């Protein structure tokens, strides 16, 4: 299993879909690596790659002892969930931006518990670079009484 460099176009797609954020901990602005889920460094298929921070990537390397390794199944589930959440957040932000450009007041996002002012702040976060670089924590609800407002 010789390590094969991940092609730049594949790495770009993977990083973009993950918003350059670890799919396990979802903490923005951490140094990240692209992880080969099947542990075969020559398999650079997009479906075999996930973005992990250095700390979470270390958990995939645990062997022996009583610690449980972060395995392929869990990484795959986390990756799929994270990529879907990033895509939904981008769709919501796009709708809000279009409404703003049309001069319409932002409507609360259905089912999110977000107020119009929360939506304006969400737009601001995406205009400044999005979830991956703005300090927005997306593990918690983005807004509403339970979370104490947009994070």
**pLDDT level of residue 1 (50, 70, 90 thresholds):** low
> Has residue 84 been placed in a domain?
yes
> Has residue 69 been placed in a domain?
yes
Indicate whether 116 pLDDT > 60. Answer: no
Euclidean distance between CA atoms 52 and 74, whole angstroms: 12
Identify the three-state secondary structure at position 34: strand
pLDDT tens for each residue of 87-103? 999 999 998 888 888 88
**3: Cα separation from own chain's centroid:** 26
Closest among 26, 15, 80 to 51, alpha carbons compared? 15
> Has residue 145 been placed in a domain?
no
The structural domain count of the chain equals 1
> Has residue 77 been placed in a domain?
yes
Euclidean distance between CA atoms 130 and 85, whole angstroms: 13
Identify the three-state secondary structure at position 49: strand
**pLDDT level of residue 143 (50, 70, 90 thresholds):** very low
| Full domain range(s) for residue 46 | 8-134
What would the two tokens of residue 29 be? 């602005």
Give buried/exposed letters for 103-129 (b at 16+ CB in 10 A, else e).
Answer: eeebeebeebebbeebbebbbebbeee
**93: Cα separation from own chain's centroid:** 15
Query: Which range is least confidently modeled, 7-11, 24-28, 62-66, 85-89?
Result: 62-66
> Has residue 68 been placed in a domain?
yes
Within 13 A of 85's CA, how many CA atoms are on the CB side? 22
**31: Cα separation from own chain's centroid:** 14
Q: Which residues face 33 on adjacent strands?
A: 52
pTM of the model: 0.68
pLDDT tens for each residue of 41-99? 999 999 999 999 999 999 998 777 777 789 999 999 999 999 999 999 999 999 888 88
> Has residue 150 been placed in a domain?
no
> Has residue 119 been placed in a domain?
yes
> Has residue 123 been placed in a domain?
yes
What would the two tokens of residue 38 be? 């099947």
């Amino acid at each position: 299993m010789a390590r094969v460099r991940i092609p730049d176009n594949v790495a770009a797609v993977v990083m973009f879909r993950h918003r350059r954020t670890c799919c396990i901990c979802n903490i923005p602005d951490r140094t990240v690596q692209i992880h080969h889920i099947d542990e075969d460094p020559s398999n650079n298929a997009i479906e075999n790659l996930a973005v992990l921070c250095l700390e979470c990537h270390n958990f995939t390397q645990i062997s022996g002892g009583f610690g449980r390794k972060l395995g392929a199944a869990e990484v795959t589930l986390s990756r799929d969930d994270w990529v879907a959440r990033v895509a939904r957040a981008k769709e919501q932000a796009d709708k809000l931006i279009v409404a703003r450009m049309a001069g319409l007041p932002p409507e609360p996002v259905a089912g999110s518990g977000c107020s119009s002012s929360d939506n304006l702040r969400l737009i601001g976060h995406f205009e400044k670079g999005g979830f991956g670089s703005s300090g927005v924590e997306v593990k918690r609800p983005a807004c509403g009484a339970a979370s104490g407002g947009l994070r």
